[in-house]
Amino acid sequence: MTDATLLATNRTSRGSGPAGRMRNVGDVPAVIYGLGADTVTISVSARELDRILHSDTGVNSLISLSVEGEEVLALARQIQRHATRGILQHVDFIRVRRDTAVSAEVPLHLVGEAPGTKQGGKLEQQLFTVTVSAKPDKIPSSIDIDISGLELGDQIHVADIPVSEGVVIALPGDALVVQVAVPRGLTDSEGAEGAEGAEGAESAEA
């Protein structure tokens, strides 16, 4: 994963007034914290940050913040947007080290079509994201789950999710991710058909 570079400027003024003026000129107020260092207040270009957040690596993009000549490796967290306009309002950056694992939320994407749905089953996805632990440059942008082999009643659990070496999912292995549920009516119908078949066999023997 290639680091995204983002220029940052130290800011000394705080409060809603200065923050509003900052947003009016296309910047977004932010802070940098973590790794036992002091919290630093900065501003960054809203357009450039948005570009990074909408890249292939998304919110888990590894960002190299250039703060007044100093390079800070960070991840964007606590991203606040305007409720209706979607404009960035504030962002927290957390300092990270390349050799130290961090936690991150990763979306799960279902790939393919489950054959069981064509037999009357209902596809039910229970988990849409998982928390993983990995070194910053190993955090996946998303995880694809192939459901093309799911028949009626089949399930996929956390233990079945394919992940790269060095990536650990922080959930029990038996946690349900997705299944093809068998509708009650379909189960009853199959049971009735089985009973009728058995009765027919007994009549034939008689």
pLDDT at 159: 96
CATH number of the 103-199 domain? 2.170.120.20
In Å, what is the CA distance from 12 to each residue of 30, 36, 70?
12, 21, 17
SS3 of the chain: helix, strand, coil, percent, to 5? 25, 40, 35
pLDDT at 82: 85
pLDDT at 17: 74
CA dist., res. 114 & res. 126, Å (int): 15
Delimit the domains of the chain by residue range.
4-96, 103-199
C-alpha gyration radius of the chain: 25
How far is CA 45 from its chain centroid? 24
CA dist., res. 104 & res. 129, Å (int): 10
Half-sphere exposure of 14 (CA within 13 A, CB side): 6
CA dist., res. 186 & res. 153, Å (int): 12
pLDDT at 85: 84
Domain 4-96 class, CATH top level: mainly beta
pLDDT in tens, the chain (206 residues): 568 899 999 987 676 777 777 788 889 999 999 999 999 999 999 999 999 999 888 889 999 999 888 899 999 999 999 888 888 999 999 999 999 999 999 999 999 999 999 999 999 999 999 999 999 999 998 999 999 999 999 999 999 999 999 999 999 999 999 999 998 876 655 544 444 444 444 444 43
In Å, what is the CA distance from 63 to each residue of 8, 14, 54, 194?
11, 24, 13, 61
